[in-house]
Amino acid sequence: MEDDFKAVSSGARALVKDSSQTVINEMLSELKASKERLVHVRRGIPERLKPLKNLLPQVESLEHGIQDLDKWISNGVQLLDSHRVDGNINVVEERIEKHKVLSHFIKIIMAIYSIVLFLFVRSLVHSP
């Protein structure tokens, strides 16, 4: 960067040979002030980046959470679409009855398993 400013300075001096020394000095002082501002800004960049770097994992976590939420919502929409009934009320009532029969059947099976498990555990406890 220092070399770039020297090259600009020498280029400016070559271009303004016809100008007065005060004009040249004004231009060089403006160039020097610009260089100092640039150096100051460059020096402050790492400090300004620290909070952003600290925030990056949280942003990534938020993005992953949003992706998971989007996936969950998509699955929910697909589930709702799979249960959509485009027909009359009789179709819905038939599906409800099938569900009731199936859930009743599952309750009976679970009760039987519970009794069998109870008897099995009881036989293990009371066996010599």
Is residue 61 in some structural domain? Answer: no
As a whole number of angstroms, the distance between CA 57 and CA 51 comes to 11
Is residue 128 in some structural domain? Answer: yes
| Integer angstrom CA distances of residue 128 from 80, 119, 122 | 55, 16, 12
Q: What range does the domain containing 102 cover?
A: 88-128
At residue 93, does pLDDT exceed 70?
yes
At residue 67, does pLDDT exceed 90?
yes
Q: What are the pLDDT digits (tens) for 6-41?
A: 777 777 767 667 777 787 788 878 888 988 998 899
Question: How many domains, the chain?
Answer: 1
